[in-house]
């Protein structure tokens, strides 16, 4: 155990965060995401964070994880499938992500479902959570840690 690291960050997740380089992407997957099968194609694989929601996990990760400032959209969300009767408006969890990451709506990319899955296969790792909100999947693109950080 170390000081200052939130309990929600497991040793495996900390290892992944430390191993990532600039431009690598991390997927935080909701409970409906096919995390195990897609993670087989990623560089690191699957990190289990069952029982945790993405907002609480994202809050903890953002203490250590710089978003990429060299791209217009340092994180991506899965676009709502057209005609999905389960979602009437923009998923409320998206507004929560903007607050947590301290970014504007202009800083996230909406990615069509199958393209999101394809991008997730190229990610460094996938973190499987117990998040129940629909369309809660998020891809974070790692930035650089400067000498001042």
Tokens of 91: 């998923």
22 labelled catalytic: yes
CB 136 within 8 A of CB 73: no
68 labelled catalytic: yes
Tokens of 102: 């301290």
Q: Which residue has the tokens 């504007």?
A: 104
Tokens of 105: 């709506």
From 15, 22, 70, 84, the catalytic residue: 22
24 labelled catalytic: no
Query: What CA–CA distance (Å, rounded) separates 47 from 41?
Result: 13
**Rounded to an integer, what is the distance from CA 61 to the centroid of its chain?**
9
Query: What CA–CA distance (Å, rounded) separates 140 from 68?
Result: 9
From 52, 68, 97, 135, the catalytic residue: 68
> Which residues are identified as catalytic?
22, 68, 117
């Amino acid at each position: 155990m170390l000081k200052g690291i939130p309990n929600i960050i497991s040793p495996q997740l900390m290892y992944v965060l430390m191993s990532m380089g600039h431009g690598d992407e991390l997927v935080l997957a909701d409970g409906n995401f096919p995390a195990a099968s897609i993670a087989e194609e990623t560089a690191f694989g699957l990190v289990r964070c069952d029982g945790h929601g993405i907002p609480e996990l994202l809050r903890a990760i953002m203490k250590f994880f710089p978003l990429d400032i060299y791209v217009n959209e340092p994180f991506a969300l899965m676009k709502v499938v057209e005609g999905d009767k389960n979602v009437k408006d923009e998923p409320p969890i998206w507004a929560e992500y903007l607050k947590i990451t301290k970014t504007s709506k202009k800083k996230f990319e909406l990615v069509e479902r199958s393209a999101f899955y394809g991008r997730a296969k190229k990610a460094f790792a996938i973190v499987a959570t117990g998040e129940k909100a629909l369309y809660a999947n998020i891809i974070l693109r790692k930035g650089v840690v400067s000498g001042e950080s």
